[in-house]
């Protein structure tokens, strides 16, 4: 199953827009390419070239404007009420032939839909969708138990023996979460569980507390908390399940609240969660992984 969140979301939207078996392949392909984040800043002419390539040279580039317009009509029919409820002025989707945006905050109709799709609708669905498509990180996630003891007379701590425990961790023990992916990218790691007897979502990475930079390299393990992080090793005080979700992106997310001077940047409220999904929606690719550990 495809665990790229961006592609899966767009595919679901495409199926909603074009439920008919005999729907126009040109329009379907136009939607997938014109509304993909990697093509956000590309002109229609360049996107038309991509459509033509995917359709084996059967797409006429001169029909690009009309094709985009037909997709906009279908999008308004399907999502118009939802967009209007979110504050979108649907009148902006109806422009006279030959109209062009003026300098400032005006957009083409397809750009208005794009903005709503990725900044409003995607964040609304992304959490549940990520949970559905996430690939189980059986090998990507490992908890490493630490036994601490004095290193020598100069002081310091010796990590000591390292023991892997695949799915079960012990209450009260100290752990490092070891992560290793086959892809190089930027890591977003969310923890969902109980903190001080309250259900919380925490962003362990990127964060100053656990790992600020968040970059991971293919087939090279990284430990959380990172070596230069502020947080102590992970300790779980209650029996139950602990849920971790990792999202690997091609570029840093640039979250506004993740700063070198902010040691409390790991707690995620509703506003921060929305910003996370909006940032993910600006990525060309976002692979999703999860791992649940049982605390005994």
pLDDT value at position 147? 62
pLDDT value at position 154? 37
**Averaged pLDDT score across all residues of the chain:** 89
Percentage of the chain lying above the pLDDT 90 cut = 74
Closest CA to 54 of 75, 74, 34: 34
Boundary (domain end) residue, out of 96, 115, 133: 133
Q: Give me the helix-helix angle, 25-34 and 44-54, nearest 10°.
A: 130
The domain tally of the chain equals: 2
Of the listed ranges 109-118, 173-182, 189-198, 216-225, the least confidently predicted one is 189-198
Q: Given a cut of 80, is residue 98 above it in pLDDT?
A: no
Q: Given a cut of 60, is residue 26 above it in pLDDT?
A: yes
pLDDT value at position 264? 84
Rounded Cα distance between 66 and 225, Å, is 53
Tell me which of 104 and 90 has the higher pLDDT.
Answer: 90
Boundary (domain end) residue, out of 84, 110, 133: 133
Q: Are residues 210 and 264 in the same domain?
A: yes
Q: Is 80 exposed, middle or buried (0-12, 13-18, 19+ CB in 10 A)?
A: middle
pLDDT value at position 1? 62
Q: Are residues 31 and 93 in the same domain?
A: yes
pLDDT value at position 75? 98
Q: Are residues 24 and 124 in the same domain?
A: yes
Model confidence pLDDT, tens digit, residues 123-167: 999 999 999 999 998 889 999 887 642 233 333 444 444 444 458
Q: 65 by DSSP, 3-state: which?
A: helix
Closest CA to 284 of 39, 50, 116, 111: 39
Q: Are residues 150 and 273 in the same domain?
A: yes
Q: Are residues 127 and 161 in the same domain?
A: no
pTM: 0.88
Tell me which of 180 and 139 has the higher pLDDT.
Answer: 180
- Token readout for 184 is 């190089």
Q: 152 by DSSP, 3-state: which?
A: coil
pLDDT value at position 238? 85
Boundary (domain end) residue, out of 78, 104, 133: 133
Q: Are residues 55 and 171 in the same domain?
A: no
Q: How many CB atoms lie within 10 A of CB 5?
A: 26
Q: Are residues 142 and 251 in the same domain?
A: yes
- In this prediction, residue 77 has a pLDDT band, given cuts at 50, 70 and 90, of very high
Rounded Cα distance between 67 and 63, Å, is 6
Give the single-character DSSP code of 164. E
Q: Are residues 121 and 31 in the same domain?
A: yes
Rounded Cα distance between 286 and 200, Å, is 23
Full residue range of the structural domain in which residue 86 is found? 5-133
pLDDT value at position 152? 34
Q: Are residues 207 and 157 in the same domain?
A: yes
Q: Are residues 291 and 198 in the same domain?
A: yes
- In this prediction, residue 100 has a pLDDT band, given cuts at 50, 70 and 90, of confident
Q: Are residues 115 and 261 in the same domain?
A: no
Q: How many CB atoms lie within 10 A of CB 149?
A: 9
Average pLDDT value for residue range 184-203 = 88
Model confidence pLDDT, tens digit, residues 195-219: 767 788 999 999 999 999 999 999 8
Closest CA to 27 of 72, 79, 67, 69: 67
Model confidence pLDDT, tens digit, residues 46-66: 999 999 999 999 999 999 999
Q: Are residues 110 and 28 in the same domain?
A: yes
């Amino acid at each position: 199953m495809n665990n790229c969140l961006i592609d899966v979301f767009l595919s679901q939207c495409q199926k909603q827009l074009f439920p008919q078996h005999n729907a126009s392949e040109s329009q379907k392909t136009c939607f997938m390419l014109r509304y993909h984040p990697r093509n956000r800043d590309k002109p229609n002419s360049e996107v038309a070239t991509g459509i033509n390539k995917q359709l084996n040279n059967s797409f006429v580039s001169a029909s690009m404007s009309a094709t985009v317009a037909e997709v906009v009509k279908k999008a308004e029919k399907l999502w118009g009420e939802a967009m209007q409820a979110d504050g979108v002025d649907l009148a902006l989707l109806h422009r006279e032939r030959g109209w062009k945006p003026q300098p400032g905050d005006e957009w083409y109709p397809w750009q208005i839909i794009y903005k709503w799709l990725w900044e409003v609708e995607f964040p609304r669905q992304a959490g549940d969708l990520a949970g559905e498509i996430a690939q189980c990180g059986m090998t990507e996630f490992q908890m490493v138990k630490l036994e601490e003891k004095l290193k020598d007379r100069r002081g310091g701590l010796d990590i000591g023996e390292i023991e892997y425990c695949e799915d079960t961790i012990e209450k009260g023990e100290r752990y490092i979460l070891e992560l290793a992916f086959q892809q190089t990218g930027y890591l977003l790691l969310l923890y969902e569980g109980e903190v001080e007897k309250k259900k919380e979502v925490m962003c362990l990475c990127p964060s100053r507390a656990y790992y600020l930079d968040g970059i991971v390299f293919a087939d090279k393990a990284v430990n959380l908390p990172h070596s230069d992080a502020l947080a102590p090793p992970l300790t779980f005080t209650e029996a139950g399940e602990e849920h971790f979700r990792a999202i690997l992106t091609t570029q840093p997310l640039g979250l506004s609240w993740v700063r070198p001077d902010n040691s409390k940047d790991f707690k995620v409220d509703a506003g921060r969660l929305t910003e996370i999904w909006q940032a993910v929606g600006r990525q060309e690719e976002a692979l999703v992984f999860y791992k649940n550990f049982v605390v005994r």
